[in-house]
Amino acid sequence: HSPLTVTERNHHSFDPFPDDGRVLPFGSGATVFYNYLDYQFKNETPYTFQINLWFTEKCLEGELRINEELNYAYHVFEKDHQFLKIGDEFYRKNEIWRTKLMKFEGGKIVATELITKNFARVTYQPEN
């Protein structure tokens, strides 16, 4: 996460795969999927950012670079995660939160914000 301003974020209507190998909470990233809108942002900071993307054998991966080190960092986490069965279908819901921490002040939290709430149909059989 970064200080870039999110201008558009679209929720997807389904969760296509289980969490095996997932490194961020469900619904916190952006999906690259043909013909779907997902995530747009703009730079309202004094910093210069660079986005690098590349393909691995299984994934599209990327990194966000900045022209100078920031004195803060972000931590993204999930709250209130649940699988729900409604009729014959399963759904998944959660909230994605973000804290802003001061890197050179012992990780002092200076802000906490709700980023998004997710609710999506699950296209696989959840465990338990």
For tokens 């802000």, name the residue. Answer: 111
88-124 core/surface letters (b: 16 or more CB in 10 A; e: else): eebbbebbbbbbbeeeeeeeeeeeeeebeebebebee
Give the range of the structural domain holding residue 41, as residue numbers without chain letter. 5-122
Q: Is the pLDDT of residue 17 over 90?
A: no
- Is 97 among the domain residues? yes
Does pTM top 0.85 for this prediction?
no
Average pLDDT of the residues of the chain = 89
Q: What is the pLDDT of residue 35?
A: 75
Asked if the structure places residue 128 within a domain, the reply is: no
Q: Does residue 60 lie within any of the structural domains?
A: yes
Tell whether 127 is covered by a domain: no
Residue-wise pLDDT for 34-82, tens only, equals: 777 777 889 999 999 999 999 999 888 899 999 999 999 999 999 999 9
**Which residues, other chains included, contact 106 with Cβ-Cβ below 8 Å and sequence gap of 6+?**
none
Residues 6+ apart with CB under 8 A from 46: none
On whether residue 90 sits in a domain, the answer given is yes
Total number of domains constituting the chain? 1
At residue 110, the pLDDT reads 98
